[in-house]
Amino acid sequence: MTTSTPVGLTAEQETFRRELRDFLAGADVRREVAEIAAYPPRHEASHLAVYRRLGERGWLAPSWPERFGGLGLGAVEAALVTEELTLAGIPDDVHVLSIDIVGMFLLRAGTEAQQQRHLPHLARGERIATVLFTEPGCGSDLSALSTAARRDGDGWRLRGGKIYNQKSQFGDVALCAARTTAGPVALHGITLFLVPLRSPAVHIEPVPSMGNDRFNLVVLDDLRVGPEDVVGQVDDGWRLLNDLLQLERTGIDFHGKGRRLLDAAIGRATATGRIDDPSWAGDLAELDAAQHAAHALAWEQVHALADGRPDPVRSAMSKWFASERISPVLAAGADLDGLATALSAWDGGAPDDGLWEAATRTGPAHRLASGTSEVMLYLVAGNGLGLL
């Protein structure tokens, strides 16, 4: 593997990375990864054994306090987990949703009772929390959301539909953005709620997707939640979304996925002797340089986060750069093996056990998830370069 080592790690962090990598290379984990690759169509990963085993060691959410199932470490160790999971080919959706988004919102804005109730289960990998932000009529611009929460005694009743949700069919609880006050300023009046997913007032319908992981339309049909389910202050959800979602965006996960694919392509070029062709070698070297650049940009954001000075503009740049570097690697993989890369794990004889076929179907999603490429460039152009 040509993966570069993150710069600026302490000796302890370097040991943590090595132990993590050794653990993820272990026979049990590799068997589970191979089983997932061979899943029948429309079957997707949910409660993974590897998550529970990481959770037992406090490694699933190492930056969380020990009393919530973490190790009390920092953003660097959290990023090492994300990077090593993606490099090892372990599905990271549940980790992103449960730990990086819902867990992080609860740690920063939740009450002690909310934290005690949910965080230890999430850190142990035994429960799944999901995200209900996007709606059929709004995604990038969440200020346009229309899911309504109206007062009902000391609690609220939620009505509306959320789309492109993932994993709620396996989830226990979701973080949902709803409008509590309609006013002249769209950004004001959004509130975040914890909603139970196993309620008769929650309907989860599959929405077709090219990837193995399905999307859901989640309809909240007069769902009652109590005052204890409000995350942060009523009407203050927009500020939380703006402040906290950028913390999710270091680009490290997208870099890990691109790097893994490029390592596989270099492995195939080496095995087939194509690497000796100067034209192939040059193309792969160019892709390798771009991956190193994505790696450097992503780790710059991780260290900025660890030092308490996150930079939303450079984070946007990093997410854009790392996610856009994936499709050229997919194209190189397809060129190397031609039509064989269209074979799935189920066809038999597929190169890299169907890795290329599966990655090609998920490829387009990388430039949409966690903020689209256009919106990332809009942030860089507007807030970074002052052009808009």
Ligand X SMILES: Cc1cc2nc3c(=O)[nH]c(=O)nc-3n(C[C@H](O)[C@H](O)[C@H](O)COP(=O)(O)OP(=O)(O)OC[C@H]3O[C@@H](n4cnc5c(N)ncnc54)[C@H](O)[C@@H]3O)c2cc1C
CB closer to ligand X, 134 vs 146: 134
Shortest Cβ 135–ligand X spacing (Å): 8
Counting other chains too, the contacts that 301-308 makes at CB distance below 8 Å and 24 or more residues apart are 301/249, 301/250, 301/251, 301/252, 302/6, 302/75, 302/76, 302/79, 302/250, 302/252, 303/8, 303/76, 305/75, 305/79, 305/247, 305/250, 306/74, 306/75, 306/76
Question: Which residue(s) pair with 11 in the sheet?
Answer: none
Q: Between 89 and 108, how does the x/- string for binding to ligand X read (CB under 6 A)?
A: --------x-----------
CB closer to ligand X, 88 vs 145: 145
Shortest Cβ 365–ligand X spacing (Å): 4
**Are 48 and 124 in contact, with CB atoms under 8 Å apart?**
no
First to last CA, the chain: 42
Instruction: State which of positions 123-162 bind ligand X (CB under 6 A).
Output: 130-134, 139-140, 162
Task: Give the integer Cα–Cα distance in Å for 117 and 99.
Answer: 14
Q: Which of 23, 39, 170, 378 binds ligand X (CB under 6 A)?
A: 378
Half-sphere exposure (CA, 13 Å, Cβ side) for 166? 20
Shortest Cβ 41–ligand X spacing (Å): 18
Backbone angles phi, psi at 207, to 5 degrees: -120, 125
Instruction: State which of positions 33-72 bind ligand X (CB under 6 A).
Output: none
CB closer to ligand X, 93 vs 288: 93
Task: Give the integer Cα–Cα distance in Å for 296 and 325.
Answer: 14
Q: Between 293 and 332, how does the x/- string for binding to ligand X read (CB under 6 A)?
A: ----------------------------------------
The conformation of residue 214, written as its DSSP 8-state character, comes to P
Shortest Cβ 164–ligand X spacing (Å): 4
Task: Give the integer Cα–Cα distance in Å for 68 and 246.
Answer: 23
**Does residue number 281 form part of the binding site for ligand X (CB under 6 A)?**
no
Shortest Cβ 38–ligand X spacing (Å): 22
| Environment class of 186 (CB within 10 Å of its CB; exposed 0-12, middle 13-18, buried 19+) | middle
**Does residue number 219 form part of the binding site for ligand X (CB under 6 A)?**
no
CB closer to ligand X, 121 vs 249: 249
Cβ-proximal residue to ligand X, closest one: 139
**Does residue number 374 form part of the binding site for ligand X (CB under 6 A)?**
yes
Shortest Cβ 211–ligand X spacing (Å): 7
CB closer to ligand X, 39 vs 378: 378
- Where on the phi/psi map is residue 79: left (φ > 0), alpha (ψ -120 to 50), or beta? alpha
**Does residue number 164 form part of the binding site for ligand X (CB under 6 A)?**
yes
HEC secondary structure over 271-327: HHCHHHCHHHHHHHHHHHHHHHHHHHHHHHHHHHHHCCCCCHHHHHHHHHHHHHCHH
Q: Which amino acid is at 223?
A: L
**Does residue number 244 form part of the binding site for ligand X (CB under 6 A)?**
no
**Does residue number 186 form part of the binding site for ligand X (CB under 6 A)?**
no
Q: Which of 146, 272, 327, 372 binds ligand X (CB under 6 A)?
A: 372
**Does residue number 205 form part of the binding site for ligand X (CB under 6 A)?**
no
CB closer to ligand X, 267 vs 364: 364
Q: Which residues contact 45 (CB under 8 A, 6 or more apart)?
A: 36, 39, 91, 93, 94, 213
**Are 176 and 145 in contact, with CB atoms under 8 Å apart?**
no
Task: Give the integer Cα–Cα distance in Å for 366 and 369.
Answer: 6
Q: Which amino acid is at 205?
A: E
> How many residues contact ligand X, by CB under 6 A?
19
Segment interacting with ligand X, rule: CB under 6 A, options 22-30, 261-269, 280-288, 362-370? 362-370
Segment interacting with ligand X, rule: CB under 6 A, options 10-18, 41-49, 163-171, 182-190? 163-171
Q: Which of 3, 13, 86, 166 binds ligand X (CB under 6 A)?
A: 166
Q: Which of 148, 365, 381, 384 binds ligand X (CB under 6 A)?
A: 365
Shortest Cβ 286–ligand X spacing (Å): 26
Task: Give the integer Cα–Cα distance in Å for 339 and 368.
Answer: 27
- Chain residues binding ligand X by CB under 6 A are 97, 130-134, 139-140, 162, 164-166, 365, 368-369, 372, 374-375, 378
